[in-house]
Protein backbone atom coordinates (compact mmCIF):
# COMPACT_ATOMS: atom_id res chain seq x y z
CA UNK A 1 0.00 0.00 0.00
CA UNK A 2 1.30 3.46 -0.86
CA UNK A 3 2.38 5.50 2.16
CA UNK A 4 -0.07 8.31 1.42
CA UNK A 5 -3.02 5.88 1.39
CA UNK A 6 -1.84 4.14 4.58
CA UNK A 7 -1.47 7.53 6.29
CA UNK A 8 -5.01 8.40 5.22
CA UNK A 9 -6.35 5.14 6.71
CA UNK A 10 -4.45 5.74 9.95
CA UNK A 11 -5.78 9.30 10.16
CA UNK A 12 -9.38 8.09 9.74
CA UNK A 13 -9.13 6.71 13.27
CA UNK A 14 -10.46 9.38 15.63
CA UNK A 15 -9.13 7.93 18.92
CA UNK A 16 -5.34 7.72 18.91
CA UNK A 17 -2.81 6.72 21.55
CA UNK A 18 0.59 8.42 21.52
CA UNK A 19 3.00 5.98 23.15
CA UNK A 20 6.14 7.61 24.47
CA UNK A 21 4.57 10.84 25.70
CA UNK A 22 7.28 12.58 27.70
CA UNK A 23 7.82 14.71 30.78
CA UNK A 24 9.89 16.91 28.47
CA UNK A 25 7.47 19.12 26.50
CA UNK A 26 10.05 19.55 23.71
CA UNK A 27 9.99 15.83 22.80
CA UNK A 28 8.61 14.64 19.46
CA UNK A 29 5.82 12.54 21.01
CA UNK A 30 4.43 15.59 22.77
CA UNK A 31 4.45 17.65 19.55
CA UNK A 32 2.62 14.85 17.72
CA UNK A 33 0.10 14.58 20.59
CA UNK A 34 -0.59 18.32 20.36
CA UNK A 35 -0.89 18.21 16.56
CA UNK A 36 -3.52 15.46 16.81
CA UNK A 37 -5.39 17.47 19.47
CA UNK A 38 -5.27 20.61 17.33
CA UNK A 39 -6.79 18.62 14.47
CA UNK A 40 -9.77 17.39 16.48
CA UNK A 41 -8.61 13.90 17.44
CA UNK A 42 -9.29 12.33 20.82
CA UNK A 43 -5.71 11.65 21.92
CA UNK A 44 -4.39 9.58 24.80
CA UNK A 45 -0.89 9.78 26.24
CA UNK A 46 0.90 6.55 27.14
CA UNK A 47 3.84 6.62 29.53
CA UNK A 48 4.09 3.92 32.20
CA UNK A 49 6.45 6.04 34.34
CA UNK A 50 4.05 8.88 35.18
CA UNK A 51 0.34 9.43 35.82
CA UNK A 52 0.15 13.04 34.57
CA UNK A 53 2.32 15.46 32.64
CA UNK A 54 1.30 19.12 32.39
CA UNK A 55 -2.33 18.24 33.06
CA UNK A 56 -2.40 15.35 30.58
CA UNK A 57 -3.39 11.95 31.98
CA UNK A 58 -0.86 9.27 31.06
CA UNK A 59 -1.87 5.64 30.78
CA UNK A 60 0.57 2.85 31.60
CA UNK A 61 -0.37 0.91 28.46
CA UNK A 62 -2.56 1.10 25.38
CA UNK A 63 -4.58 -1.66 27.09
CA UNK A 64 -5.45 0.76 29.93
CA UNK A 65 -7.19 3.39 27.78
CA UNK A 66 -10.93 3.36 28.54
CA UNK A 67 -12.91 2.47 25.42
CA UNK A 68 -9.76 1.61 23.47
CA UNK A 69 -8.31 3.38 20.47
CA UNK A 70 -8.33 2.80 16.72
CA UNK A 71 -4.70 3.74 16.21
CA UNK A 72 -1.43 4.01 18.10
CA UNK A 73 1.48 6.29 17.33
CA UNK A 74 4.72 4.83 18.69
CA UNK A 75 7.49 7.26 19.59
CA UNK A 76 9.60 4.77 21.52
CA UNK A 77 12.72 2.71 21.05
CA UNK A 78 12.43 -0.25 18.66
CA UNK A 79 12.64 -2.60 21.66
CA UNK A 80 9.68 -0.93 23.35
CA UNK A 81 7.79 -0.89 20.02
CA UNK A 82 7.96 -4.70 20.00
CA UNK A 83 6.34 -4.84 23.44
CA UNK A 84 3.71 -2.23 22.60
CA UNK A 85 2.80 -4.09 19.39
CA UNK A 86 1.48 -6.97 21.52
CA UNK A 87 -0.57 -4.56 23.65
CA UNK A 88 -2.03 -3.07 20.45
CA UNK A 89 -3.11 -6.47 19.12
CA UNK A 90 -4.65 -7.41 22.48
CA UNK A 91 -6.52 -4.08 22.52
CA UNK A 92 -7.96 -4.32 19.01
CA UNK A 93 -5.97 -1.41 17.58
CA UNK A 94 -6.45 -1.23 13.78
CA UNK A 95 -3.39 0.86 12.82
CA UNK A 96 0.08 1.37 14.31
CA UNK A 97 2.52 4.03 13.13
CA UNK A 98 6.13 3.63 14.25
CA UNK A 99 7.77 7.04 14.11
CA UNK A 100 10.95 7.49 12.14
CA UNK A 101 12.52 10.66 10.87
CA UNK A 102 15.69 11.58 12.71
CA UNK A 103 14.89 9.23 15.62
CA UNK A 104 13.75 5.64 15.23
CA UNK A 105 10.88 3.63 16.72
CA UNK A 106 10.71 1.09 13.91
CA UNK A 107 11.00 -2.58 14.83
CA UNK A 108 10.90 -5.11 11.98
CA UNK A 109 9.81 -7.73 14.52
CA UNK A 110 6.90 -5.55 15.69
CA UNK A 111 5.84 -4.77 12.11
CA UNK A 112 5.82 -8.47 11.21
CA UNK A 113 3.85 -9.35 14.35
CA UNK A 114 1.28 -6.62 13.71
CA UNK A 115 0.79 -7.57 10.05
CA UNK A 116 0.45 -11.22 11.07
CA UNK A 117 -2.39 -10.13 13.35
CA UNK A 118 -4.13 -8.04 10.67
CA UNK A 119 -3.09 -4.65 12.04
CA UNK A 120 -2.12 -1.96 9.53
CA UNK A 121 1.47 -0.77 10.01
CA UNK A 122 3.36 2.33 8.93
CA UNK A 123 7.02 1.65 9.71
CA UNK A 124 8.52 5.10 9.45
CA UNK A 125 7.81 8.72 8.86
CA UNK A 126 5.58 10.93 10.93
CA UNK A 127 1.88 11.85 10.75
CA UNK A 128 2.89 15.52 10.89
CA UNK A 129 4.03 14.99 7.29
CA UNK A 130 0.39 14.34 6.33
CA UNK A 131 -1.76 15.88 9.05
CA UNK A 132 -2.32 19.49 8.10
CA UNK A 133 1.28 19.35 6.90
CA UNK A 134 3.30 22.50 6.82
CA UNK A 135 5.82 23.01 3.97
CA UNK A 136 8.75 22.00 6.19
CA UNK A 137 7.21 18.61 7.05
CA UNK A 138 6.25 17.99 3.41
CA UNK A 139 9.83 18.72 2.36
CA UNK A 140 11.14 16.52 5.17
CA UNK A 141 8.94 13.64 3.97
CA UNK A 142 10.31 13.94 0.44
CA UNK A 143 13.92 14.18 1.65
CA UNK A 144 13.61 11.28 4.09
CA UNK A 145 12.02 9.09 1.41
CA UNK A 146 15.07 9.77 -0.77
CA UNK A 147 17.44 8.49 1.90
CA UNK A 148 15.23 5.57 2.90
CA UNK A 149 14.17 6.81 6.35
CA UNK A 150 10.51 7.04 5.29
CA UNK A 151 8.93 4.22 3.24
CA UNK A 152 7.23 4.93 -0.08
CA UNK A 153 4.98 1.94 0.48
CA UNK A 154 4.00 -0.01 3.59
pTM: 0.89
* C-alpha span between 41 and 66 (Å, rounded): 15
**Could you tell me the CA-to-CA distances from 98 to 53, 54, 67 in Å, in that order?**
22, 24, 22
Mean pLDDT, range 76-88, rounded to an integer: 96
CATH number, domain 3-146: 3.40.50.720
Domain range summary for the chain, segments of one domain joined by +: 3-146
* 131 in Cβ contact with 35 (< 8 Å): yes
- Residues 56-81 have pLDDT tens digits of 999 999 999 999 999 999 999 999 99
Amino acid sequence: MELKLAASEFLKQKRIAVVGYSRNPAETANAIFKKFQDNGYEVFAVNPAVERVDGVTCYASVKDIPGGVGAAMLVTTPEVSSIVARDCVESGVKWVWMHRSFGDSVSAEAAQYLRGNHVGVIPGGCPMMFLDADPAHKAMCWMLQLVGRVPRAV
